[in-house]
C-alpha cells in the first residue's frame, strides 16, 4: 500500500518556479484563486465569499499534508514577489491502488506562459519517484480546452468521458478523465 510521507515538506523547483507549502500569508492569493470567475469557470464550485474561507481551506490542506492524506503546493515565480500565483495538488489519494488525482489552478494573469505545464511536469516526477504513485488522474470539464491541452502536453491521455455525472447549479455536467501511468 502507498505510504506517502510529506514531512519534511517536499519543496520543488523548476527553471522558473518554486513549489512550496501554502501558509496563512497566502490567504489573499488563495482567496482570489477560489473566488475569481475566470479561475472557477470550469471548476463547478461555488466561489469563496470571505478571506476566512480561504484560511479554513489552508488549514484543511495543511492538516491533509500533516496526515499524509494529500499535498498542495503554492506556485510561486522564482523571480517575482514571492506571492502564490496558483496551486497544484494531489488529492483523492487511493493508497491501496497507488493512484492520486491531480488538481491545479492558476491566476489568469499568468495563463498561456507554460507555467502550469512546467509545474505539472515537476509534480508528476515527484508523484512517481517521490511518492511511489503508479497512476495519476485529472478530472476536468470537457469544455476546458486549455486544461485538456496542458494535460495532453504532459503525457496524459483521455481515458473516460462521463455524461451528465455531476450536478451543479441546477444542471448536469459532463466530466473528462485523463490519466498517466508511471
Kindly report, residue by residue over 11-37, the tens digit of the pLDDT.
999 999 999 999 999 999 999 999 999
Q: What is the pTM of this model?
A: 0.95
Q: Give the Cα separation of 94 and 102 in Å (integer).
A: 12
| Count of domains observed in the chain | 1
Q: For residue 4, is it within any domain?
A: no
pLDDT at 12: 98
pLDDT at 117: 98
Domain CATH number, residue 17: 3.40.630.30
User: Structural domain of residue 96, as residue ranges?
Assistant: 12-181
Closest CA to 26 of 105, 87, 80, 79: 87
Q: For residue 2, is it within any domain?
A: no
pLDDT at 173: 95
Kindly report, residue by residue over 94-116, the tens digit of the pLDDT.
999 999 999 999 999 999 999 99
Q: For residue 50, is it within any domain?
A: yes
What is each CA distance from 92 to 44, 89, 114, in whole angstroms? 17, 10, 26
Q: Give the Cα separation of 20 and 14 in Å (integer).
A: 12
Low-confidence ranges of the chain (pLDDT < 50): none
Closest CA to 137 of 104, 174, 96: 104
Q: Which residues pair with 160 in a beta bridge?
A: 177
Amino acid at each position: 500500500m502507498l505510504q506517502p510521507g510529506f514531512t519534511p515538506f517536499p519543496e520543488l523547483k523548476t527553471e522558473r518556479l518554486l513549489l512550496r507549502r501554502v501558509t496563512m500569508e497566502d490567504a489573499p492569493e488563495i482567496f482570489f484563486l477560489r473566488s475569481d470567475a475566470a479561475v472557477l469557470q470550469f471548476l463547478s464550485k461555488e466561489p469563496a465569499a470571505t478571506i476566512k474561507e480561504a484560511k479554513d481551506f489552508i488549514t484543511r490542506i495543511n492538516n491533509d499534508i500533516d496526515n499524509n492524506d494529500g499535498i498542495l503546493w503554492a506556485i510561486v515565480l522564482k523571480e517575482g514577489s514571492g506571492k502564490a500565483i496558483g496551486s497544484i495538488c494531489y488529492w483523492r489519494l487511493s493508497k491501496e491502488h497507488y493512484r492520486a488525482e491531480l488538481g491545479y489552478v492558476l491566476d489568469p494573469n499568468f495563463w498561456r506562459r507554460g507555467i502550469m505545464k512546467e509545474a505539472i511536469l515537476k509534480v508528476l516526477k515527484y508523484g512517481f519517484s517521490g511518492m511511489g504513485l503508479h497512476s495519476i488522474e485529472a478530472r476536468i470539464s470537457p469544455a476546458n480546452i486549455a486544461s485538456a491541452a496542458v494535460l495532453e502536453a504532459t503525457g496524459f491521455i483521455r481515458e473516460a468521458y462521463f455524461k451528465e455525472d455531476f450536478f451543479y447549479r441546477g444542471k448536469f455536467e459532463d466530466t473528462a478523465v485523463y490519466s498517466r501511468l508511471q
